[in-house]
Amino acid sequence: MSSWQTMSAQEIERLARNIAPGGWLVERERPLSTLLGSCVAVCLYDEAARIGGMNHFMLPTMRRNGAQMDVDNLLSGDYAMEVLLNALLAKGAARHRIKAKAFGAGTILTGAASLGIGIRNADFARKWLSTEGIPLVASDFLGPWSRKVLFVPEVGDAYCRRMPTSLATAQEIAREEAAYAESLQRRPPSSNVELF
């Protein structure tokens, strides 16, 4: 029995590395956590290699903007799934052993802008995993909840706490998403130095 299996969810949460919207991490030793509204988090893991990772995406697919990567790319499911899978494979996971657990896609805000985002995110996650031949062994999608997700990559355990969405929770999630999108739009100053 792993030491993780004797810990409470609260103990695991205290040790977890947080993943912000648009983020992803691959870990062997530390648990991962994220807070979801209409976003989706997918946990991929290889039990035999004792490695896993989690992402957090806001939109199902990216918009193409020529050859330039824009903010939508980094927040999209297709980008988040590809980078997570590739990072796992690069760190020793075997594709045929990878399994998935996925969470989120709640309806926490009302209004025309929020309609259908969660459903599209959940549908995208299921379809992407099916296309890649990765079994989705557990999921918790949709409903009027935000979710706190904890994932222990070493053993593939996931914990999902549904939280009734209050105005404060919805505002916290919206702030996190807006702060992340804003940070991506800040570009480093360009340099006019030519290297040869």
pLDDT digits (tens, 9 = 90+) for 103-136: 998 877 655 445 578 888 999 999 999 999 999 9
CATH number at residue 169: 3.30.1330.200
Residue 196 lies in a domain: no
Residue 195 lies in a domain: no
Residue 79 lies in a domain: yes
Q: What pLDDT is stored for residue 7 in this prediction?
A: 77
Residue 188 lies in a domain: no
Q: Tell me the residue type at 59.
A: L
Q: Both tokens of residue 96?
A: 């045929």
Compare 79 and 181 and report the one with higher pLDDT.
79
Residue 179 lies in a domain: yes
**38-69 pLDDT, tens digit each:** 889 999 999 999 999 999 987 766 555 554 44
Q: What pLDDT is stored for residue 106 in this prediction?
A: 87
Gap between the Cα atoms of 108 and 86, Å rounded = 31
The verdict on pTM exceeding 0.85 is no
Neighbour tally for 9: CB within 10 Å? 14
Q: Please tell me the total count of domains within the chain.
A: 1
Cβ burial 153-180 (10 Å sphere, 16+ → b, else e): bbbbbbbbeeeebeeebbeebeebbeeb
Q: Tell me the residue type at 177.
A: E
Q: What pLDDT is stored for residue 123 in this prediction?
A: 93
Q: Tell me the residue type at 171.
A: Q
Residue 132 lies in a domain: yes
3-class secondary structure per residue, the chain? CCHHHHCCHHHHHHHCEECCCCCEEEECCCCEEEEECCCEEEEEEECCCCEEEEECECECCCCCECECCCHHHHHEHHHHHHHHHHHHHHCCCCHHHCEEEEEECCCCCCCHHHCCHHHHHHHHHHHHHHHHCCCEEEEEECCCEEEEEEEECCCCEEEEEEEECCHHHHHHHHHHHHHHHHHHHCCCCCCCCCCC
Terminal C-alpha separation, the chain: 57
Residue 174 lies in a domain: yes
- Write phi, then psi, for 139 (nearest 5 degrees): -155, 155
Residue 170 lies in a domain: yes
The boundaries of the domain holding residue 95 are 7-183
